[in-house]
Structure formats: structure tokens, C-alpha cells
Amino acid sequence: METPRQIILPVLRPGNSHSNKWYVSILKRIIIKIRESYPEMEIIIRSDSGFSCAAFYQLVDDFDLLYVTGIASNKVLKRKVSRSKNAVKKMYLDQGEKHQHFMSFTYKAKSWHKPQQCYSKVESTGLGMNIRHFSSNIPQKDARKIYFDFYVKRGDSSENRIKEVKNMCFSDRLSNHSFLANFFRLMMSSLAYEMFLLLKQKIKKTRFEVAKKWLISSIRTYLLKVGATIKITKRRIYYQLSKSFVYKGLFREIITQ
């Protein structure tokens, strides 16, 4: 069953702040709330390298969480993969074929409270080397399975949803001189996204298979931007839609659910 993929908490940060600002403190509150209602639920955190920090790894241990997070490259990690990088590069030059190599190792940044199990993907793409570092404590999974079965799937699960909020609900329109006004705009965009999620759930219950694949932009164009007149009487409110409205059947099924 597809998850709703709702926004938990939209937060506007100052433009000069790091991507993990307030991240751990907010995540901690969310985890506490989840555990209060579902104490036995297994929680898995998936994030990119911008959220990898000492406080996060401490939180993982404190609340017994599973996680996969990217790690930003640095001199130490570059040295660890240098031999594999040269071997993969040579293999591509000799055979002319793309190649992937995964390696695992323990690594501890200076600020971390203890070493973490880390992995690197070294790949020759034909256009250069593609190297990714990530850390995880998911048991009984090798690097390849963690990367492809879970980590990279954050794209459709979260990053594409963020793009919908930003580009289709216009959460990037934060040009007011007041921080609070821009925060309010972000909240409005987030509420609009939640409304579209509700429409998506209702569309899935209809017989219109094409509409079930629509993004937010398509829902707005084909379902909401419709010419209509409104007539109000003492007893009723009439919505008179255009005769050329292509998806009037879909519209009717949604409003009668």
C-alpha cells in the first residue's frame, strides 16, 4: 500500500544556516511522539549527507534507531577509496565497460562519539568517476543492497515530493522582507500540498486510471482550473461547469465520495 507521504513539519531556516540546523532537535520530538503511541514500532531514518552530524549519530544510539545517511566526502574518505578508484578506472579503460565497486569500513569523524559502519560506491560512468559515501547500521545487509534497495529510493519517496511542494505548490516564493511572512507562505504551500494529497487519495478510488498517475501540476491543470459559474439561491448553491470540461466524470466521482 502506498504511503501518503505527508509533510510532518515545514520549517523555514535562515538562508545562511546549515542544512542540519534544528534537524536533530525536531527529529527527536517526532520520535518521542511516535514512541508514545507505537512503542514497538521500528523507526528507520533515511537522509542525505547534509544531515550527517555528531548529534544525529548520538540520537540514533539513544533511541535505538536504524538509519542510512549519506556522508560528505573528505580527505580521509578519499584516501580510503583511492585504491579502488584507480582499479575501477583502469578496468573501464581496459574493457570499456561501466563498473561499480562497493566497499565497507568503519569510520569515525572527530566529532562523532564512536565509529560508524560506512560504505562507499565507486563507479565508472563513462563520463568520469561517481563516488558516494554513506553510513548505515541496518543489520544483515551488504552495501549494494542498502544502497539500491533503500538509500537511493529516497528520490521518489521524499525528494520528488519536496520538488512538488517547491515547484508545484510554489513554496520557493519567499520574497517578502519579513522572515515570519515568508514562514507563513511556506505554511500555506504546505497546506496546499496536503490538499493535493487528499485529492490524490480520492482520485485513486475512482475508475480513471490515467488520473491516478497525475502529479500535482496535472491535478491543478485538469481538475481545478475549470471555467464555471456559481449560482446561490435560498436553498442551494449551484456550480455550473463548462460543457467542454473533459474530466467532469472524474470531478463528479470525487465530490460524491
**DSSP three-state, residue 110:** coil
58 inside domain: yes
The number of domains in the chain is 1
Question: From CA 31, how far away is CA 122, in angstroms rounded?
Answer: 34
192 inside domain: no
Mean pLDDT, the chain, rounded, equals 90
Residue 60 structural domain: 42-152
Scan for cell 529516497, then name that residue.
154
111 inside domain: yes
pLDDT number for residue 244 = 86
Euclidean distance between the first and the last CA atom of the chain, given in angstroms as a whole number: 20
Scan for cell 561499480, then name that residue.
100
Residue 1 has pLDDT above 70, yes or no: no
pLDDT of 149-188, one tens digit each? 889 887 667 778 888 999 999 999 999 999 999 999 999 9
Nearest C-alpha neighbor of 147 from the set 126, 119, 128, 105: 119
Q: What is the pTM of this model?
A: 0.80
179 inside domain: no
Residue 80 has pLDDT above 70, yes or no: yes
Share of the chain above pLDDT 70, in %: 98
87 inside domain: yes
Residue 116 has pLDDT above 50, yes or no: yes
120 inside domain: yes
What's the whole-number mean pLDDT along residues 64-71? 95
4 inside domain: no
CB-CB contact of 143 with 135 (8 Å): no
pLDDT number for residue 137 = 94
pLDDT of 179-219, one tens digit each? 999 999 999 999 999 999 999 999 999 999 999 999 999 99
Q: What string of DSSP letters covers 211-248? A: GGG--HHHHIIIIIS--EEEEE-SS-EEEEE-TT-TTH
207 inside domain: no
pLDDT number for residue 214 = 93
Residue 74 has pLDDT above 50, yes or no: yes
pLDDT of 100-111, one tens digit each? 899 999 999 999
Amino acid of residue 187? M
Q: What string of DSSP letters covers 18-50? A: -TTTTHHHHHHHHHHHHHHH-TT---EEEE-GG
